Amino acid sequence: MACESCRSQTRALVRIVARAKVSKPSTTTIPSMMSALSHVRPSSSSSSSSSRIPSVRYFSDTASKQVLGGFGRSMTDSYRVIGASERLYKFCAKPADYRITAEARKNDQVERLEDGEEVGRPVDPGNVWHDAFKLQPTFSTWSHVTMLHLYLLNARVRCFERDAYRTWQQQLIDHFFFECEKKMHVDHNINSSALRQRYLKDIFVQWRGLLLAYDEGLIKGDAILASAVWRNLFKGSPDVDPRALAAIVGWMRSTLLSLEATSDANLPVRAEEIFEKPVEVFWTRLEGAFAEEGGAKAAAAAAAAQGEPVAATAGAS
């Protein structure tokens, strides 16, 4: 369909032709139409072809060109967002990624948890989510770790212009759900499209609830945020190490602070560097602090058993 500017120009030409037919029905030609439009851009003569060129060119400089140019720029920006968001999404999906091979399924070697969820093999066996935090390499773990990273990005792109934010948010979510359906089909052998769509709807509900839960935690404090992480990422398990929750909350706060300090223009590049900062940094700091505290307590207990002053021993440590 033609744009509003093109339709306006067409209507103007029709009116000019109609008036020309009323006045001189036998002599109306294209040159006379162009001369009738000479009030838009003056020309020296309407009889020569060279004098008509400016008028023709002028149509390419009107609002229609600006509209088309703006549309072209918006399309370019959309393609740029698709590429940049895909690169950032890959960073978000990488930390807890896993695989279930066709050979393992063929040989009936796929392990299952008590709730029936299939367990795969970590792509990075030494990652902190599977190794230190003791999360199983399952679809649930991967999806929630990925959504946690996507939430941090989503919190930053909210600061964009409204249209830019909607574009970025939609692209990031699209990449995630495309990957979810791919994993269901390839890794978990779910061939039914209807069944995959039902699972995707459940994941979307989880995503909406996750946004609200983490937003509440950011506003109300670290205890509420840790509770949201515990309910979503760890499924409310009573066996979770509290240090894992503290490390994740500290990493989330630090990442959000770094993302906030990044300009909108540099975000697609800087976000990759920010997400490369591992969660292990916060985990090892806690481990070191607990080790020092445990050593001090052990020294104090040994001193007490030997009848030495506890305060002096603790102070010396």
Residue 40 placed within a domain: no
In a domain, 18, yes or no: no
User: Is residue 35 assigned to a domain?
Assistant: no
Q: Is 113 within the bounds of a domain?
A: yes
What is the pLDDT confidence band of residue 64, given thresholds at 50, 70 and 90?
very low
Distances (CA, A) of 149 to 13, 72, 231, 251, 277: 56, 32, 16, 11, 12
Does some domain include residue 62?
no
Confidence of residue 200 (pLDDT cuts 50, 70, 90): very high
Tens digits of residue pLDDT in 12-42: 665 665 565 544 444 444 444 444 444 444 4
Cα 159-163-165 angle, rounded to 5 deg:
35
> Is the residue at 19 inside a domain?
no
CB-based contacts of 247: which residues, under 8 Å, 6+ apart?
279, 282, 283, 285, 286
Residue 251 has pLDDT above 70, yes or no: yes
One-letter amino acid for residue 210 of the chain: L
**Residue 75 pLDDT > 50, yes or no?**
no
Q: Is residue 81 part of a domain?
A: yes
Give the position of tokens 């490369």: 276
* 133 part of a folded domain: yes
Q: What is the pLDDT of residues 141-194, one digit of tens each?
A: 999 999 999 999 999 999 999 989 999 999 999 999 999 999 999 999 999 999
The residue ranges of DSSP E strands in the chain, in sequence order, are: 98-99, 111-112, 118-119, 121-122
Read off the pTM: 0.69
The total domain count for the chain is 1
Note the pLDDT of residue 80. 84
Average pLDDT on 78-98 reads 91
Q: Which domain holds residue 143?
A: 74-300
